[in-house]
Copies of this chain bind each other. A is one copy, B any other.
Amino acid sequence: MDFCESINKLPNKEENTLHGKSILKTWNMTDEDIAAVANGAAILKEMRENNISPKMFESGIAVSMFCENDIDMKFAFASGADLLGLTIIDIDKKLKNNTINETAAVASYMADAIGVCENKFIEKSSRYIKRISDAVKDKKEKGVIAQKPCVLNLGSDEDSPVQTIADLQYMAEHFGGIENLKGKKIAVTWAYSPDGTRPLAVPQGIVSLMTRFGTNLVLAAPEGVELMPETYERAEKNAAASGGTFTRTESMEEAITDADVVIPMNWAPFSFLEKRTELSAANLGSYIDLLEHELRENNKNFIDWEITEEMMEKTKDGKALLMHDIPVDITDISCIRGEMTAQVYNANVDSLLAEAGFRPYVIAAMIILTRSEDARAAFSAIAERATRRYF
């Protein structure tokens, strides 16, 4: 099988710096960590396509904690965990009345993985995920739990490592290797959506991750639709270090022209999200409604930020790779005016869906890499055992 060679590139006992860790942000991971996850995911995908079961757990629990009903990512987590033999238990809300300590401990007694999605509140959301991670670590050290589950960030206010590493690998496969991303123009562009309140995790995560690989990344957004300021600094530093560039523009067209990859998406301005976090802490729900209303009204000024066929023709040879973390807001299909036209969507739908299909494998790879001291040996054992997934 093709994957045998890939397995040899995975980190062994001495090299696996992810072992025992939580996965919270890609910028806390080394390039080797990221390559290991992407590579591990690609191997798992190939294994499944060849009917080889990577089940590494006879039994075990994967706890899924979602702030909102992000069904796509929930499904990805469930599918990825199931592939390894874990059973999903949903804690839709924080355990009622429980302290974070209790929640983490109760979730950990029998868990092998905990996936948390909590993206609505600036700072608070990542702090929540971090506290779960810290509590798990503490309970293991105190002997309250016997085995430490890994904690995976499935989407915070800051980053979405599963989505961005899946995208990185998808892009890498498209261009024939991660090294070929060097010099590629990647347009990350804000696009209009009637919703308008989407979190920053994916745009920030994409900008922070893709600039590490020598790309020429252009970020386009209307005036005032900002990400967290540290994202720009991080992207500039990454670009400088990797021999790429990071530029910003207020013109979608400028970003898209000659781009090799186009990644349109909607997000809410950082200032709006900060304000909403503040109002929410003060229990001022009706003012949140007003704030969201005003945002949506203001967004109507940018209704032309839409990916059309004309726009796509301006890209490199008119055939850039179009990427999106579905669901897409599609003009005339899911809304009157959205992120892209139905023509563009229909022309790219199979690629968009294939991109999203990679997430379960990224999650499964993260679980193996954080739980196995010698990840290379774990993958080798799976390959040698070669149990059929179904017959």
- Which A residues are closer than 8 A to B by beta carbons? 45, 48-49, 53, 55-61, 69, 71-72, 75-76, 78-80, 82-85, 87-89, 91, 95-99, 101-102, 105-107, 109-112, 139, 142-147, 326-330, 333-334, 349-350, 353-354, 356-357, 360, 371-372, 378, 381, 387-391
Contact = CB atoms under 8 A, between A and B. Distances in A.
A136 B70 CA distance: 22
A356 B69 contact: no
Contact of A84 (B59, B326, B387): B59
Contact of A333 (B87, B96, B99, B112): B99
Contacts of A371: 390
A347 to B, nearest CB: 13
B381 A59 contact: no
B55 A55 contact: no
A141 to B, nearest CB: 10
B58 A349 contact: no
B83 A146 contact: no
A54 to B, nearest CB: 8
Given A105-B356, A106-B356, A357-B145, A55 B58 contact: yes
Given A87-B88, A96-B71, A327-B95, A53 B61 contact: no
Contacts of A87: 78, 82, 87-88
B110 A360 contact: yes
Nearest to A48: B146
Nearest to A351: B144
A102 B327 contact: yes
B390 A49 contact: no
21 contacts: A48-B147, A55-B59, A57-B390, A60-B390, A61-B79, A72-B106, A75-B89, A75-B91, A82-B87, A97-B327, A98-B327, A99-B333, A99-B334, A101-B349, A102-B327, A105-B353, A109-B356, A109-B357, A139-B350, A144-B350, A372-B391
A117 B103 CA distance: 20
Contacts of A91: 71, 75
A353 to B, nearest CB: 4
Contacts of A326: 98, 102, 106
A349 B95 CA distance: 17
Nearest to A354: B144
A389 B58 contact: yes
Contacts of A112: 390
A389 B388 CA distance: 19
A153 to B, nearest CB: 20
Contact of A388 (B58, B143, B387): B58
Contact of A110 (B57, B82, B105): B82
A268 to B, nearest CB: 16
A154 to B, nearest CB: 15
Contacts of A105: 353, 356-357
